[in-house]
A = this chain, B = another copy of it.
């Protein structure tokens, strides 16, 4: 693991979910830019001190030298955005598979470079857009794919949060301080942290690519360096329309990612804060509440369900589902078997699209919320 030292949020999440199903074990890490924090974190985690490193450069060298059965099967990168690309490149080129938190990189150029590296090294690269790991999100996708909604007309996807309603980044709050710092987070704060999840979720469920967008970005909190609110009109390839808005200043909202999709036959609705339910709507029949774990759900939702209906699964289980798929790919890679054909996890391709989304929206916003073409290269 790269990153995730004492005081970090997402590193601890990765540590729980990667081992939830007994498929992996944490054996080595460079947990912080501070060698001391790294050492202490390794100690907290009862790791062999010999495999707790002060820098990831040191780490990649040491691990690469280890014998096959003993060296890392993959590395997990959970650092701030500016420290995604450098270690990812290093480890991929040294022959390691990589699991990386989103957004893929600091900027689009890096993402495209990373795509080339992944292609060249033929290693596995997994981008943890965790929300698509939710069984009922997979159910939603299956309903779209099997034509139950008909042709998609409209998508409304929202990701309101309120935690940055005031200038938290100057109070010593670890998360806030790097997320609001352009050097570490990139060109966008709200879009990079959560807007990109919204884009990813909409695309995962509907399969639709953006054709153009018009983004009105605002920095509401005085003194903040990046946008904390984004209202975006979207036009999808093929004629569907969308509204995507994300916010970090919507007071009282916690992590209210949600999506509504309307086709010409039916509609659906899913809320991250109530992830076990999928609402399906018809023009002429009662609205249905599909719930995880029931006999009537489809194959995809079934496959990623651990416990029976009515026993709520949450954020961690969904996140662990991304790892379940990652492990199928990684295991094949490590053991030299062919890759399974039905892999279902976000890849560097999703990373490039995500970075395109962020950069296009920022460009639109800076131009005064003008419509911008979306490059699907």
Contacts and interface: CB of A to CB of B under 8 A. Distances in A.
A299 interface: no
Given A154-B247, A254-B310, 8 more contacts: A13-B307, A16-B20, A254-B308, A255-B308, A274-B274, A307-B316, A313-B316, A316-B316
A266 B283 contact: no
Interface in A290-327: 290-291, 293-296, 306-317
Interface string A269-304: 000111110001111111111110111100000000
Given A255-B308, A266-B251, A290 B286 contact: yes
A172 B309 CA distance: 20
A249 B309 contact: no
B46 A22 contact: yes
A315 B312 contact: yes
A362 interface: no
Q: Interface size bucket, A side?
A: 35 or more
A296 B284 contact: yes
A199 interface: no
B265 A251 contact: yes
B249 A231 contact: no
Contacts of A27: none
A363 interface: no
Contact of A312 (B250, B265, B273, B290): B273
A369 interface: yes
A156 B245 contact: yes
A289 B286 contact: yes
Interface in A2-16: 9, 12-13, 15-16
B233 A251 contact: no
A82 interface: no
A233 to B, nearest CB: 5
11 contacts: A22-B45, A154-B220, A166-B264, A251-B262, A253-B281, A255-B308, A273-B312, A285-B296, A287-B291, A314-B316, A314-B317
A30 to B, nearest CB: 19
Contacts of A289: 286-289
A80 interface: no
A260 interface: yes
B282 A263 contact: no
A289 B288 CA distance: 6
Contacts of A253: 267, 281, 310
A101 interface: no
Contacts of A296: 284-286
> Which 8 residue pairs across A and B have the least CB separation, nearest first?
A252-B281, A254-B310, A255-B310, A312-B314, A314-B314, A286-B288, A311-B315, A287-B289
A214 B233 contact: yes
Interface string A350-375: 00000000000000000011010000
Contacts of A255: 308-311
A93 to B, nearest CB: 31
B216 A241 contact: yes
A229 B241 contact: yes
Nearest to A217: B241
A162 interface: yes
A19 interface: yes
A127 B285 CA distance: 35
